Each structure stands twice: as C-alpha cells, then as structure tokens.
Amino acid sequence: MSTVRLTMAQALVRYLCNQFTEIDGCREPLFPGVFAIFGHGNVTCLAEALEAVKDTLPTWRGQNEQSMALAAIGFAKATRRRQIMVATSSIGPGALNMVTAAGVAHSNRLPVLLLAGDSFVNRRPDPVMQQVEHFGNPTVTVNDAFKAVTRYWDRITHPEQIIGSLPQAVAVMLDPADCGPAFLALPQDVQEIAWDYPESFFAPTVHKVPRPRADRDRLAEAASVLKSAKRPLIISGGGVRYSGAESVLADFAEKHGIPLCETIAGKGTVTHDHPAHVGPIGIVGSTSANALAAEADVVLAVGTRLMDFTTGSWTAFSPDARFVAINAARWDANKHRAVAVVGDALETVEELEAALGDYKADAGWTEKGRQEFAKWNAALDGFQKPTNAPVPTYAQVVGVVNSRAGERDLLITAAGGLPGEVMKNWRVKAPNTFDCEFGFSCMGYEIAAGWGAAMADPTRTPIVMIGDGTYMMMNSDIYSTVLSGHKMILIVCDNGGYAVINRLQNAKGGASFNNLIKDCRVKEPFAVDFAKHAEAMGALTRHVESLADLGDAVEWAQTTDRTTVITIVSDAFTWTPGDAWWDVGVPQVSARAEVNTAAADQQSGRTKQRVGV
C-alpha cells in the first residue's frame, strides 16, 4: 500500500481538497472554501496546512466565529445544499461562538463543517489557556456543547481516526434525511502528529446526493387518500427546493387543480403569480392560505417539518383533515398521524403524479383558491400604498424594495418583525430568490448570510433586510464584504428597538418593557446613525426619509461597486395582518387585568389545537 506522511491537519486539508460534487453536469469542489479565525488552537497546525493550499481551498477571515459560520450556512442555502463551506476556530470562546450557528444549521437541515481546536489529549500542559476543566470528567471540553446542535460529532484523538471519520461526516452532510452540521474537535497535540496515510484516502471523489425512493405501499396509500380529497391543499417546504423539485411540484399542483401554499423555508418554490399559488401559510402567512387550510380535507405536506409557524401551533387545520407527508426524513414524515411517505421530494412527487392519473380537485375548490389569493393581493396593494403618515410601515418599505429588485436578486432576512412582513409582502419574481432564516429564528444571520450568498453566486446581488435591533447585534460582516469584494445591498429599517417582541408583549397583556429603546432603562433615548456606522466599515451608504427616496436609493445601490447600506426609519406599531393563532406561555394569574384576559384567550385557543405527535 502506497502511503504519504502528513500531519493530521495536513491530511484533513488534503482530503477536503479532493472531494467534489456535480452541479448541473459540472464537477465542482464540494468544499469551496474555509471561513477562519485563527488562535492558538488552530493557527500553528491547521493554518499551516491551509496556507499551503490557499489557491485551491481559499481561506476567508471572518470578524466573529458565529457570523462566519452563519456565512457558511447562507452559502449552503444559496447553493441548495450542493456545496459545503468550512468554518474553523481556536479552542474555548472561539469554538463556543459557533454553537449558535450550529443550531441554525441543525434546525434548518443545512450542511456546514465546523472544525474547532481542542485541549491536549496527553494532558501534560493542563490546564491550558481557555480550557474549561470538569473536575469529575477530564475528557469534557467546551466542544462537548456541540453535541446538542450537530448531526455528526467527533473528537480526533489519534491521527488515523480521520480516515474513518471524515467520510462519515461528508455522508451525513450530503444525506437528505440526516443533513445538518458536522463537527470535529481537533486537539492541538493531535493536529501536529505525522502519520503514514494511504494515498487512496486522498483519491479525488465525486459525490452525488442520493435520492431515496418511497415505499410502494405508502405511495399507493398516499395516492388513494389524495384521490378521495374534495378540498386538497399542498404545503411546499424547504425540502422541495433542496431536492430541486420546484417545477415538478408546481406542475403537479396546476395539473390537478390543487392550491399550493408555502412555508417560510419553502417560499420561492414558485413565483408569486403561479396559477396554483395561494400565498404563505401560518402565523406569518396570508389570509388566503390560512382560509384554505381551515377548510382543507387532505393536506399534502412536501419537504416541511411542520413547525408551529406553519401550522398555527396546530390550529390552522380542520380536526378531521388528513395529512400526507412526503419527506426524506422519517422523523418529519411521521408527524400528526400523517400517511408517511419517506423519500426524495422530486422522485416521490413524480411517482405520485403517475399514481394519481387524471384526478383533479373539485373545480369550485380550485376557484376558491384563486379568489382568496386575488383578495389577498388586493389587500397587499392597499398595505403597500404610500400614505401621508410621517413614518412608513414595513409593508410599504418591503413593497418599494421588492418593486426595484431584479428578477434574480436574492432577498435575505431573519428574526424580528421582517420575516412576517416579507413573507406576506414580498412577491417572488423567480424561484429560489428568497431566504428567510426562521427555523432557528437567529438574530444576526442576515448580514453574514448575505456575505455567504454573494460568495456562492456572484451573478446576483443579495438584498438583505434587517431591523435596527439585529443590526446592533451583529454587523461586522459589512466590513468582511468590503474586504473580500462580495457585494450586498443592505436595507436597515430603524423602528427603535425590538418592535415585534414589543408587539407580542402587548398582545398578551404585558406592558411595553425593555424592548423598544424608549421603554428600556436608559439615561435618554438615543438614535444610532446606521449610515455613518456602515460607512466607517467601508460601505457606501445613504439615509432616506421617504418611500420615493427609498426607491431611488435602491436603484442607485444596484449601480455601486461594493456593499451599499440604505437606512430608513420605519413604523414600530403597524403590521400586515393575516396571521394564524400562536401558542405561547401567558401567566395564569397577574396583577394586570390585560394579562388575565390574554390568559383566558390563550386557553380558549388551545381547545382548537389538533392533537397529534
């Protein structure tokens, strides 16, 4: 057996450089780059290995370990899980900064390879700087924290172990059912050890994402249930996009006259004006989709984990509605007594199409979908229409940005008030041009994801919409994009704090407290000049005060040569309606009459919840 002598870190990097994937018939690197912040746990060995291949496997320096891992996740979304970025940190706080990002990837079923330095296996110099000691178990380090938020976890305690571990990590990240983050803890002393690795370990390998087929009996059962439906409804989730099943599902819905609605992760499966489309469903959904969900007798859920924001905490549907769930993941397919069809979305929808034959939903039901969506579109026109109000609403801001966006421009947002507003008001012009991270509802995702998405596809411009609260939480990747030349357009909507949580607080009877800046314990309210702040990081900026000026600014931003930031003050109290009910904890007793009323309403809402698992 022919061998090559390399350190463990060198071997790991060489392996990554020789993994490939096939995208639209072309061979591309499976691992196209590394986001890195170096410290004593990864700079002397792993950085040495990465520097040697910097032209093959580019390394990008981040400003924060969490945000660079989020950038890797934004990259994975933009490439629809076809390529995987790496994020590496030193030990201790650097590693722990990536835990939140791992949670984002885990919740959203997205691949990212996380490599963190670790303390010494030989324990000779213990305790080393940034080592957290556990008196009863010296094998525990901060890296054990990743076990709760990764699909694959390993600590490499011998250089030979990567021969078995790396292929398993890759297999998990490419598996449609188990897809999620993989984590390797790399002890400092093990990184340096040289080993005679078999050259076959580094043979160039082209990976193809598997497409598991559904069980024939389950497929037949699903077809039978659908054929019995008078009022069927399709829910399209993120799995449809990752499977590449958008056009197949869109044609399926149109042919059979089945209204199609979208989850947050699934928005962008079809264009806004697709004949079967009836809008987004759920808590941040449309009145049109929610009206149909309430009457549907069969729900075909494709590629969705059916989170509470989709199901209205399981109050959005009739108690008698039957579910057919198509999902690559057994766990997701077997929720709420659904007919579980475990398989790839594209392959399964095609096979279901063949099994349905000439079935069509009742013509009156199909027409009801069109009418409800027409009413919803008319309502959106009204919400987005300019008024003489001194401060524009989110709906108006989103409408202006949407109208100026190019057909392929990618909209990115995440936690806060914007997810609900873009879900309702953003009219998708082309499939796969919408990214709202709400599986983990991670504040700070937006700008980092914009960097990753711009890196993934330089032929389109990410338009990132963000609130002032999230901007203050994590904004340093504006600087990253200026340094690296990956342009985004950033729209900062300043509504004076955490406005959507203030809305929830008030809706459940609570007094406004510690959310809007004016309701916090501060010496005096103070407005940040976000344009000047972004300008200080090298971005081009403009502050606007009117919707007309916003439209002009967006058009200007599309002509610039670097990241461009536009700021506008927006209304903290006006929201687009259409929501479903949401189950949250409300105090059962309170000195506030408003809370007691809200608690009674909450208990009443819970009586409408669908009982399931």
Q: What is the 3-state secondary structure (H, E, C) of 373-400?
A: HHHHHHHHHHHHCCCCCCCCCHHHHHHH
Cα angle at 514 between 508 and 518, to 5 degrees? 110
pLDDT band at 613 (very low <50, low <70, confident <90, very high): low
Q: Is the pLDDT of residue 578 over 90?
A: no
Give the architecture (CATH level 2) of 3-207: 3-Layer(aba) Sandwich (3.40)
Dig out the tokens for 225 from the structure.
């249930």
Q: What is the pLDDT of residues 319-364, one digit of tens each?
A: 999 999 999 999 999 998 899 999 999 999 999 999 999 999 999 9
Closest residue by Cα to residue 346 from 220, 234, 235, 240: 240
Can you give the C-alpha Rg of the chain in angstroms?
25
Q: Is the pLDDT of residue 609 over 70?
A: yes
What percentage of the chain has pLDDT greater than the value 90?
A: 97
pLDDT band at 608 (very low <50, low <70, confident <90, very high): very high
Neighbours of 517 (CB within 10 A): 19
Question: Which helix (H) or strand (E) segment is 114 a member of?
Answer: strand 113-118
Q: What is the pLDDT of residues 65-121, one digit of tens each?
A: 999 999 999 999 999 999 999 999 999 999 999 999 999 999 999 999 999 999 999
Q: Is the pLDDT of residue 194 over 70?
A: yes
- How does strand 19-23 pair with strand 26-29? antiparallel
Q: What CATH code is assigned to 216-375? A: 3.40.50.1220
Closest residue by Cα to residue 165 from 115, 117, 223, 208: 115
Cα angle at 166 between 161 and 172, to 5 degrees? 130
- How does strand 194-198 pair with strand 3-7? antiparallel
Closest residue by Cα to residue 276 from 302, 257, 303: 257
Residues 6+ apart with CB under 8 A from 13: 46, 49, 50, 52, 53, 57
Intervals of CATH 3.40.50.1220 along the chain: 216-375
- Give the CA-trace dihedral at 247, 251, 253, 254, to 10 degrees: 140
pLDDT at residue 524 in the model: 86
Dig out the tokens for 109 from the structure.
């079923």
- How does strand 19-23 pair with strand 205-207? parallel
pLDDT at residue 331 in the model: 96
pLDDT band at 526 (very low <50, low <70, confident <90, very high): confident
Q: Is the pLDDT of residue 475 over 80?
A: yes
Average pLDDT over residues 151-171: 98
Contact present, 6 and 194 (Cβ < 8 Å): yes
Helix (H, G, I), strand (E, B) or coil at 605: helix
Contact present, 7 and 60 (Cβ < 8 Å): no
Per-chain mean pLDDT for the chain: 97
CA atoms of 150 and 378, how far apart (whole Å):
44
**Residue 317 vs residues 274, 293, 313, 611: alpha-carbon distances, Å:** 23, 5, 10, 11
CA atoms of 553 and 546, how far apart (whole Å):
10
CA atoms of 499 and 530, how far apart (whole Å):
17
Q: Is the pLDDT of residue 10 over 80?
A: yes
Residues 6+ apart with CB under 8 A from 542: 531, 553, 556, 557, 564, 565, 566, 567
Intervals of CATH 3.40.50.970 along the chain: 3-207, 385-569
Q: What CATH code is assigned to 385-569? A: 3.40.50.970
Closest residue by Cα to residue 352 from 234, 472, 508: 234
Start-to-end Cα distance in the chain: 52
Q: What is the pLDDT of residues 201-233, one digit of tens each?
A: 999 999 999 999 999 999 999 999 999 999 999
Closest residue by Cα to residue 119 from 174, 41, 184, 54: 41
pLDDT at residue 611 in the model: 81
CA atoms of 446 and 467, how far apart (whole Å):
10
What percentage of the chain has pLDDT greater than the value 70?
A: 100
Q: Is the pLDDT of residue 234 over 70?
A: yes
- How does strand 59-61 pair with strand 322-327? unpaired
Residues 6+ apart with CB under 8 A from 269: 236, 240, 241, 246, 249, 250, 260, 262, 431
Provide the strand spans (E) within 310-362.
322-327, 339-342
Average pLDDT over residues 287-305: 98
